[in-house]
Amino acid sequence: MSLAARALTLDYGARRVLHGMDITLRAGEIVALVGPNGSGKSTFLRALARLLRPSGGVVELDGRALAAWSPVRFARRVALLSQAHEPVEQLSVRGLVALGRHPHQGFLSLPSAADRTAIETALEQTALLPLAERRITELSGGEQQRAWFALALAQEPAVLLLDEPTAHLDLAHQFTVLELVVRLNQLRGLSVVMALHDLGQAARYAERIVILKEGTMLAEGSAAEVLTPASVRAAFGVEVEILRASTGVLVVAPLGRSGD
């Protein structure tokens, strides 16, 4: 499995949002995208997910350009979890998660054993089994987000793209989700690209970090290489001190705005 962007450029009308991004995701990698709002993280993820067509350059999955993939086959390999979702009325949690099996199901919709297993597993991994029969509208924002996450997991993709997966979750569940990502990565070799706004989480959970600013890659590499006060200042305009916790994990402590 490989997912690669080469010289990826994307315009919204006259405005250029992504300027020639080059990145290759190798099988079994976890990559974090960080950067200020408007830096293009979501756009980049949606381009990787085949939702936006590149204005220049190309995105390739397993060596083939995305346009060459049929939508269904692509959906079997790549899943995307967005930040926001339209309200879904009258659907139960299990009903929602079951839709994640769509790319694997033919025309006649009787669910197979594999489908049932995937759904149950996804519900279990996201701690949603107790809520499985409840209607989505009855859940809190965080629970709903977990349900959508379970949907993406039920897809059983090879690549998981996550757009701010920890938004709206309380601290405990943020850990749950991120630990789950790591576990799936280790167990199933799931490759992950996730946009995060918490630099510390990026440092802790990702093997590689990409810093984006205004549609350009400022830096790319391991946490130690990339998370320096200089790069944070350049990307965010914020002064930070980089500390190392007793566990060896990098901690980013904000000091103040640059130029204050």
Partner 1 sequence: MSDAPSPQPSPARGEGAHSADRSSFSPLPLTRRLDRRPLVLLGALVLLGATMVAGIALGSVRVPLADVWAALLGEHEGARRFIVWNLRLPRVLLAALVGMNLAVAGTVLQAVTRNPLADPHLLGLSAGGALLAVLALHLDPATAVGNLPPLAFLGSLLGAALVYLLAWRGGVSPTRLLLAGVAVAALFGAFTTGLLLVSTLTIQAIMSWLAGGLYARSWPYVRILAPYWGVGMLAALLLARRLDVLALGDEPASVLGVRVQRLRAVLTGLAALLTGSAVAVAGLIGFVGLVVPHVARMLVGSGHRYALPVAALLGGALLVLSDLIARTVASPRELPVGIVTAAIGAPFFIYLLRRRT
Partner 2 sequence: MSTWGARIGLAGIVVAGLLFGAACGADSAATDKATPAAGVATTAAGAQTAAAATSSATRPAQTRTFTDDSGKSFTVATPPKRVVALSPSVVEIMYAVGAPPLARPSSANFPEQAKSLPAIGSSYQPSFEQIAAQTPDFLIADAQLQGPQTVTELQKLGVPVFVIRVQSVEDVTKYLRTVGAIMGKTEEGDRAAKEIEGKIQAAQAKLPAENQRPRVFILVGTADAFFAAKPNSFSGDVIARLGAKNAVGPGPDSAGAPAGFSTFSLEKLIELDPDVVLVVSVAGPNAPPTSRQLAGNPAWAGLRAVKGGRVHEVPADELVQSAGPRVGAVIDQFVPILYPNR
Residue nearer to partner 1 on the CB measure, 34 or 80: 80
98 sits near partner 2 (criterion: CB under 8 A)? yes
> Where do runs of H (alpha helix) occur along the chain?
41-48, 71-77, 93-98, 113-125, 141-154, 171-188, 199-205, 223-226, 229-236
113 sits near partner 2 (criterion: CB under 8 A)? no
Q: How far is the CB of 141 from partner 1 (least distance, A)?
A: 2
Write out the residues near partner 1 by the rule CB under 8 A.
10-13, 17, 37-38, 42-43, 46, 49-53, 70-76, 79-80, 82-92, 95-96, 99-100, 102-103, 105, 107-109, 130-133, 135, 139-145, 155, 167-170, 172-173
Q: How far is the CB of 225 from partner 1 (least distance, A)?
A: 29
What is the number of other CB atoms lying within 10 angstroms of the CB of residue 116? 12
- Name the 3-class secondary structure at 35: coil
Q: How far is the CB of 249 from partner 1 (least distance, A)?
A: 22
The only residue of 38, 111, 237, 254 in contact with partner 2, by rule CB under 8 A: 111
Cβ(187)–Cβ(9) under 8 Å? no
Residue nearer to partner 1 on the CB measure, 86 or 260: 86
Angle in degrees, 0-180, between the axes of helices 171-188 and 141-154, rounded to the nearest 10:
10
Pick from partner 1, partner 2, none: which does 72 bind, CB < 5 to 8 A by kind? partner 1
Q: How far is the CB of 253 from partner 1 (least distance, A)?
A: 20
Contact residues for 217 (Cβ-Cβ < 8 A; gap 6+): 21, 22, 23, 210, 211
Look up tokens 């290759």; give the residue: 24
Residue nearer to partner 1 on the CB measure, 180 or 242: 180
Residue nearer to partner 2 on the CB measure, 3 or 97: 97
3-state helix, strand, coil in the chain (%, to 5): 40, 30, 30
Q: Count the residues of the shown chain that bind partner 2, applying the rule CB under 8 A.
A: 3
110 sits near partner 2 (criterion: CB under 8 A)? yes
The Cα 176–Cα 26 span in angstroms is 24
Contact residues for 42 (Cβ-Cβ < 8 A; gap 6+): 82, 83, 163, 195
What is the DSSP pairing of strand 159-163 with strand 30-34?
unpaired
Q: How far is the CB of 111 from partner 2 (least distance, A)?
A: 6
Contacting positions for partner 2 (CB under 8 A): 98, 110-111
